[in-house]
Structure 1
């Protein structure tokens, strides 16, 4: 379970303040794949990073039970001068998993060929994302935090990624940021909508999508005056 206890987060934005979380109190139930919906700039990725512990809230706290992943597909902690394989071994040691097992899993999944043994600085952004997704999914967590990563690669790789994600969800939960409503319907069984710093949880995915689309339509009308 993940519980947000009076969670708030604000940033300086020009001459004003942008509030992406406004005294949020919410509980994400365990073992559910929950979509996190919201307009661009609503703060979805920031909320995910607060849950992961990589961004500090302005106030309040995140309470977790069980293991929670780093944001799936996040390659920011990788070292550019290490090879893909060496980065896998580095992450495996941090999380206390077998290094050879993780290297073997990621090598087979990411389909990087000879680049897997080359420095990360030679990778394209797509190759980095494939490596990062493989590393994330190669480690067993109780809850996975996912930020758009299943959209990476060609159609065959996206399908493989979705199948791997579903396999993990048989034994874990997830909070997934995505702009693809087809992905929400395919992969998630609950949803939450972040709007103006407030978070609303929905047990019904279609109800969440409808609320999100109303928010989007209202934003479009405001933009056109």
Structure 2
């Protein structure tokens, strides 16, 4: 369960204010995959990072139960001078996972070959994405935070990413930022629309998609 209690987030820059969240009160039920819909620039990724705890709200709070992932596929926390293997083991220790088991999973899934043992600073953006997605999927969470991550890599990797993500969704919930309505329909049980700092939650995915598409035409 993820509950927003009077959640407010305001950014101020050079005298201008942008309100991403305006006193939001809503609840995402445990075990559901919830799509987070909204136009570009509405603050979907910011909301995801507030759920992850990497951005603090201006006011209000987010209350959650169970374990919540970092945004799936986020590679920004990898140490560039450590190898993919060393970074994987480090993340395993932080989250209390078996480091050998996670390393074996990531090495097989990401298919980085010898680069898995080289510094991450030598990786291409695609290689970093494959490493990050592998680490994310290798640790079991009650809720996964997803920000368009399955779009990375070639067709074969995208297919494997989609398959393993679906497997995780059989046991876990998710909050997913995506612009693909087909992915929303295939993957999500519910959806929420973020517009002008307001968040509207829908148990019915089609109602949320209709709301989002009206906003896109407006």
Q: State the TM-score bracket (shorter-chain normalisation).
A: over 0.9
SS in 1 for 2:81: coil
In the other structure, the counterpart of 1:181 is 181
Cα separation, 1, equivalents of 2:164 and 2:52: 21
Unmatched segments (≥5 aa) in structure 2: none
| Structure 1 position 150, deviation (Å) | 0.7
Q: Which runs of 5+ in 1 are unaligned?
A: 219-225
What does 1:177-216 align with in structure 2 at a 5 Å threshold?
Answer: 177-216=177-216
- Which residue number in structure 1 is paired with residue 102 of structure 2? 102
Match of 1:146 in 2: 146
| 2-structure distance, mates of 1:216, 1:129 | 29
What is residue 45 of structure 2 aligned with on the other side? Answer: 45
Q: Helix, strand or coil: the match of 1:49?
A: helix
Q: Deviations over 1:18-48 (max 9, x none)?
A: 0000000010001111110111110000000
TM-superposed CA distance for 1:158, in Å, is 1.0
SS in 2 for 1:134: helix
User: 1:82-106 CA deviation, whole Å, 9 max, x = no partner?
Assistant: 0111100000000011000000001
Measured on the aligned residues, the alpha-carbon RMSD in Å equals 0.9
How far residue 14 of structure 1 moved from its aligned partner, in angstroms, is 4.1
Task: Say which SS state the counterpart of residue 129 (structure 1) adopts.
Answer: helix
Runs of 4+ residues deviating >6 angstroms: none
The normalised TM-score by structure 2 is 0.98
Q: How many residues of Structure 1 are paired with residues of Structure 2 in the alignment?
A: 218
Q: How does 1:77-96 map to 2 (within 5 A)?
A: 77-96=77-96
SS in 2 for 1:54: coil
Query: Normalising to structure 1: TM-score of the pair?
Result: 0.95
- Alignment match, 1:156: 156
Alignment partner, residue 35 of structure 1:
35
Partner-residue secondary structure (3-state), 1:153 = coil
